[in-house]
Each structure stands twice: as C-alpha cells, then as structure tokens.
C-alpha cells in the first residue's frame, strides 16, 4: 500500500507547512499514546517517525509525504505535565490554528490509549473536534496490553464516550488494525487501489 514515505518538513505556523495542496491526515493524541509508532506501523518502516520512550519529544507538526500523494502529519502530544506553561500555550495555539484553518486537512485520527482512556484531555480534544465539525476516526492504541476483562471494560467506555464514531482497535506490536486503517486512506484517495 505505502510504497514510498519521506519526511518533508516540520513547523508551527502555516508558512512552514507544505504548499502543494495535497490532502493531509493528522495523528493527534496524548503524549506517548503511540502517534509516531502508528505512522511507522502504517508505513512499514521502523524509524520514519522518531519514537521516544520519553514523553514530549515531538514539539512541532511533522509532515511525511506518502506515495507522492498525501501527507501524514505527526503532532506533539497533549496532556504532558512537564511542559512549561508557554509550551502548553504554544501547542494549543498551533493545534487550534491548524485544525480550524488548514483547508488541506481531510481527517484527524484521534489516538486514545485503550487501557487508560479516554482521559479528561482526550474528551476535551474530542469535544473541540466535534465543535468544529472535523472529520475524525478514533484509534484505540495498545490493545495488546489488555486482558479479556479489561478489553470488555474498555469497549464499554469507548462506546459510551464515542457513541457515533468509527473506532479502530490497533496494536503496533501485534500487527492489529493495519488493514482497516489503510482502508480509510483508500476511501478518499482512489489511486491507492490501482
């Protein structure tokens, strides 16, 4: 599916973003929820998006050109307590400006840890996305870390909070959810099927 992916640019303001008009798909979620891991998982590469065990390493929007057709956009995580007030404010402004004003943005993948979420921060972000009528998919991450009883409880929580949303369960460790995620790009980029 993904034959070619390359890092293109990073930035916090529109003057730093690509100007070629290609569709963009934003990966958004709490710090350490697995955004970079998911991009690597989808691309079949181990380190196209840098993964760190330390939360808060991503500080700008990172653009990856996929098959010369569209962009995956990796974002800083929200809810990271060790950021300064200024960093938190800057993050909020950057994400809000991008989400509300970026015409190339086609969909947001809101990543939520299946074991601990949705957290208060996840629900605030979800409400923000719904308020601005932004097209989104909920991606439940790290499902391999739950036993059967925990999965049942998580499933109930997610259905309660995200009643009308498409929810895709994923595990980058166990290779779960890759095909379903790929289908969401095919739906809007028909050349991928050729």
* pLDDT tens digits along 22-34: 999 999 999 889 8
Question: Considering the chain, what is the average pLDDT of its residues?
Answer: 88
CA distances from 151 to 122, 143, 165, 176, 177 (A): 19, 8, 18, 14, 15
CA distances from 70 to 2, 5, 8, 176 (A): 11, 10, 11, 23
* pLDDT tens digits along 112-164: 999 998 999 999 999 999 999 999 999 999 999 999 999 999 999 999 999 99
CA distances from 54 to 1, 58, 89 (A): 31, 10, 21
pTM equals: 0.91
How high is the pLDDT of residue 58? 65
Q: How many CA atoms lie within 13 A of 49 on its CB side?
A: 30
Residue 63 has pLDDT above 90, yes or no: yes
Q: Which of 101, 119, 42, 118 is nearest to 74 (CA)?
A: 42
Neighbours of 149 (CB within 10 A): 8
Q: Which helix (H) or strand (E) holds 185?
A: helix 178-186
Structure-model confidence comparison of residues 58 and 160, the more confident one: 160
How high is the pLDDT of residue 3? 84
Apex 77 CA angle, 70 and 144, nearest 5: 85
**Which CATH number does the domain 5-193 belong to among 3.30.465.10, 1.10.645.10, 3.40.50.300, 3.90.1280.10?**
3.40.50.300
* Ranges of each domain in the chain: 5-193
Residues 95, 101: Cα–Cα separation, whole Å: 10
**φ/ψ of residue 152, rounded to 5:** -60, -45
Residues 165, 156: Cα–Cα separation, whole Å: 14
Q: How many CA atoms lie within 13 A of 21 on its CB side?
A: 0
How high is the pLDDT of residue 23? 95
Mean of pLDDT values over 96-104: 94
List residues bridging with 169 in a β-sheet: 140
Q: Which of 16, 3, 45, 43 is nearest to 27 (CA)?
A: 43
């Amino acid at each position: 599916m993904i034959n070619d992916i390359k890092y293109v640019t990073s930035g916090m303001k529109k003057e730093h973003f690509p100007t070629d008009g290609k569709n963009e798909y934003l990966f958004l979620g709490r710090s350490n929820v697995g955004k970079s891991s998911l991009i690597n998982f989808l691309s079949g590469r181990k380190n196209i998006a840098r993964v760190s065990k330390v939360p808060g390493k991503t500080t700008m929007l990172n653009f990856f050109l996929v098959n010369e057709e569209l962009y995956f956009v990796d974002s800083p995580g929200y809810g990271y307590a060790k950021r300064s007030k200024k960093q938190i404010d800057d993050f909020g402004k950057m994400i809000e400006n991008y989400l509300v004003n970026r015409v190339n943005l086609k969909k947001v993948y809101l990543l939520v840890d299946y074991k601990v979420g949705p957290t208060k921060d996840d629900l605030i972000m979800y409400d923000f996305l719904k308020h601005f009528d932004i097209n989104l998919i909920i991606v439940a991450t790290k499902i391999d870390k739950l036993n059967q009883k925990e999965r049942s409880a998580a499933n109930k929580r997610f259905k309660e909070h995200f009643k009308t949303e498409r929810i895709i369960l994923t595990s980058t460790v166990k290779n779960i959810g890759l095909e379903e995620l790929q289908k969401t790009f095919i739906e809007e980029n028909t050349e991928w099927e050729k």
